[in-house]
Chains A and B, each alone.
Chain A
Amino acid sequence: MTSTVSFLTTKPHLIVIGNGMVGHHFVEQMIAQGGHEEFNITVFGEEPYLAYDRVHLSEYFTGKGAADLAMTDGSLYNEHGVRYFTNSLVTEIDRAAKQLLLQNGDSLSYEKLVLATGSYPFVPPIPGHNRENTFVYRTLDDLDAIRACAKQVTRGTVVGGGLLGLEAANALKNLGLETSVVEFAPRLMPVQLDEKGGSVLKEMIEGLDVKVYTDTATKEIVDGESAFHRMNFADGSHLETDLILFSAGIRPQDALAHQSGLTVGERGGICVNNHCQTSDEDIYAIGECALWNNRIFGLVAPGYAMAKSAAGHLLAHLLGNAGVTFTGADMSTKLKLLGCDVGSVGDAHAQSQGCKVFVYQDEISQSYRKMVVSEDGKKLLGAVLVGDNSYYDTLLQYYLNAIDLPEQAQALILPAMGDAPVGLGVDALPATASICSCHNVSKQDISDAVCSGALSVGDVKGVTKAATGCGGCAALLKKVVDNELLALGVEVSTDICEHFAYTRQDLYNLVKIGEIKTFNELLKTHGKGHGCEICKPAVGSILASVWNDYVLKKEHISLQDTNDRFLANMQKDGTYSIVPRIPGGEITPDRLIVLGEVAKEYSLYTKITGGQRIDLFGATLPQLPEIWEKLIAAGFETGQAYGKSLRTVKSCVGSTWCRYGVNDSMKMAIDLENRYKGLRSPHKIKFAVSGCTRECAEAQSKDIGVIATEGGWNLYVCGNGGMKPRHGDLFAKDLDDETLVKYIDRVLMFYTKTADRLQRTSVWMDGLEGGLDYLKDVVIHDKLGLCGELEARMQHVVDTFQCEWKTTLEDPEALKTFRQFVNYEGSDNNVVFVEERDQMRPATELEKQQLIAKVG
């Protein structure tokens, strides 16, 4: 014990001041490179929360909670011995003594210090700027205060028409306020847009009922007559409003640098070198508080790059090099503001020496595009897009990689005419092309990931983190991945097989809309040839999902894989295993005895499964109906372990027995299992229900996970175990029983309707553009207007459930197919068992030879 403590204390102390996105990323970088073993790391954050996603802050108003925006719940820090303190303001740095002073009076010494203090909103010093009902837009607390005020009033105004100001205006509009924007400059987004672009954007935004005042200076804010405030403008006019939000730019938070005498820029910002070291070599500054080459970088990607370079420099002795240096960053951006696409690349204002410009403007559909090219017309220097960002990715790649422009370069911003190819094939991108700037992932990184086995966009995301930052590169990422797969000779055609030039989702829709009831009908109307082992079971499953017919009906029987055809799971020797349904894992002693008796009678190998059921192995084909007759007589139903369908709902005993249980997880598990047991889906589905947060049922590793809380149930979706385990994502909190079932109905039906063949829920969700958020939009906010239909479809499946084994036993035609041989009553003499640990198991090849030799 003593040795551990002294060992810990001998590690140098690294303190990070600021726990915003960049500060957090720095800690992540340190941990990733083993820095937590080199340093004792301590993090101080001024806010009450650990780092959260400020880029998507506005989503706090559209349903996201603080937990959804959180970048970490602290577990990353805890697991790696990083100490962290929220609500902790550092007030002083004593550089001589290498000590920090905290607001609460504590002091702490450091060897290395990282300032990630970010920025603060600039509030213009207009008289009246600090009246009541005036706000800034920076933290979760700011947003709470804005929301509270917005409930009481009707009119809101944003001062500042830049990127953040328009984002804030959108938020006010979403809060139901009549919204205005007041901008001092002659146009909106003066940094990113040129004059014409700004005016097109203004028109578009005004079309959305947001009043825009450009070229307008506010002289003072006083008491209003019809509203809380009156803003008096320099030109003598005025605007009455109840709430004012200042979003007039940011200023670097460099107070500690001033206090401790670090070099700061004339207009603020802590001066740093290419390693992000300040004028004191033991102190680094990263993110929006840092001034590099006399520039502040107010975007998250450059902040991440700074974090990376500071971490690399701190660990240079470990890595054997000084790591990457920070040498500036691209400030190109694209975003959707109030539903309007805006993009800006490089030199948007055409300030480069001798540059030339192409402009395209469409006043009818309201779009504006400009390309700035070099004097010789060969390179793209910058671009402005308003109204349609579909041109952005291509332009950005031309710019970032200095790719030679094509001869008719203007085509890059012209609308697509006929079928002329537009845009840059990803093939043309150099290997160094940056695909994801948030996580600095190049085309080469993606190609490496694909080569080492990541064969889907979801996998590549997992390996490289590409498209997991702002998500803006998701479409481009998909193109690159598809292209790499093609280059590897992997078929990326989305056709399900040679017989149907459709995806599974297409087929689902064709079946439903065309009211198609059989495979042959679908093949005749929409396919060609005679079908194969890919399309037949897929269509069989779709027909079952949509119409919920008995799967062994004569017209469906040849569609089923052997497991579905014989309603059991084939094992390596051609015998089958049998899994009766045991909902929630709850079973009476009498039924348990029946299983034991049946297993004994047929000498079946017996094992408890991971899903809290009992699997009976070694039944021959003709034994299956006999065994099921006995099981059904004892009240069992098929467990559908053979189908792409709901397997089990794992559960703990919950509040009925457990002293920690907060809700009846047992009853919920049984109800859910009985509700969804008949659903045929693109792949198997597993559920679990835990009775409290101790999570004994491991619900977070299931497709659908339910955890009891004091307020109801938390719903997790799209987790799985297996080859690539994935934790489920928290989908909704504190649901009542009815809402829980409603959401599960919708998620499962939407999955069944839209997923690809053999696609688990996790891969399906990662493949949805917008991922979890999109799924929430569809299921919770009914974005597609589908929820009614999804619920009705699920209800149909629930209402028409039949135990396939019961139906089979009543159908002499179906029973006939369980004969071992059509012309002989004997058994398969290749099925040989030996005994091991008092049970039967298949003999190995060697054992068979020895047995045969003995008999012979």
Chain B
Amino acid sequence: MTMPWKLICKKEDLVEGAGVAAIVNGEQVAIFYVPESDNQVFAIGNWDPVGKANVLSRGLVAHLQEQWVVASPLYKQHFVLASGQCLEEDISVPHWLAKLEGGEVFIAVN
């Protein structure tokens, strides 16, 4: 089975160690480029369900408890980049598989 990979942007559009925002099928997605991680790129929803604003792409990337996370710039909750799970509260944001291939960034959409 082939994944429905969708081209989002070029690698140069990403910021090393941080996030950018993209629109995918009308939805805001935060894409993080973490060169030290196995995965290199991650995609989660840009909407912060606590702060109620589209800001997660502008949070600080951190490595906590063996996981890559982003700290919301509003109230500092951590969301796991690979799963969208919030570490502090029982909430999560959507997440997508993402890959970096040939200098281009793809995420898997249904």
Contacts and interface: CB of A to CB of B under 8 A. Distances in A.
Interface string B50-85: 011111001111111000100101101000000000
Interface residues on A, range: 35 or more
A558 B14 CA distance: 12
Contacts of B62: 530-534, 536
Contacts of B63: 499, 529-532
A822 B61 contact: no
A78 B22 CA distance: 65
Contact of B20 (A562, A817, A830): A817
A824 B58 CA distance: 17
A557 B23 contact: no
A193 interface: no
Interface string B1-40: 0000000110001111110111100001001000010000
A230 interface: no
A566 interface: yes
A138 to B, nearest CB: 57
A558 B76 contact: no
A498 B64 contact: yes
Given A562-B58, A570-B58, A823 B22 contact: yes
Nearest to A528: B63
A566 B13 contact: no
B53 A557 contact: no
A376 interface: no
A537 interface: yes
Contact of B21 (A498, A499, A534, A820): A820
B15 A817 contact: yes
A533 B56 CA distance: 13
A660 interface: no
User: Which of B21, B31, B74, B76 has the most chain A CB within a 10 Å cutoff?
Assistant: B21
Given A530-B36, A532-B64, A533-B76, A822 B31 contact: yes
Nearest to A498: B64
A61 interface: no
Given A536-B62, A562-B60, A565-B18, A574 B23 contact: no
Contact of A566 (B22, B31, B53, B58): B58
Contact of B23 (A531, A826, A830): A826
Contacts of B59: 533, 562
A854 interface: no
Contacts of B76: 533
A821 interface: yes
A554 interface: yes
Given A529-B63, A820-B21, A572 B15 contact: no
Contacts of A828: 28, 54
B28 A537 contact: no
Contact of A533 (B22, B28, B71): B71
A156 B73 CA distance: 66
A562 B68 CA distance: 18
Interface string A610-636: 000000000001000000000000000
B55 to A, nearest CB: 4
A822 B54 contact: no
Given A554-B16, A561-B60, A821-B21, 12 more contacts: A536-B60, A558-B17, A561-B73, A562-B58, A573-B53, A574-B58, A817-B20, A821-B20, A821-B23, A822-B9, A823-B9, A824-B23
* Closest 7 pairs (CB-CB, A-B): A558-B17, A532-B62, A530-B63, A562-B73, A533-B71, A574-B53, A533-B60
23 contacts: A530-B62, A530-B68, A531-B62, A533-B59, A534-B62, A536-B62, A557-B15, A558-B17, A558-B61, A562-B55, A565-B58, A572-B53, A574-B53, A574-B54, A574-B58, A817-B15, A819-B20, A821-B21, A822-B31, A823-B9, A824-B22, A828-B54, A830-B47
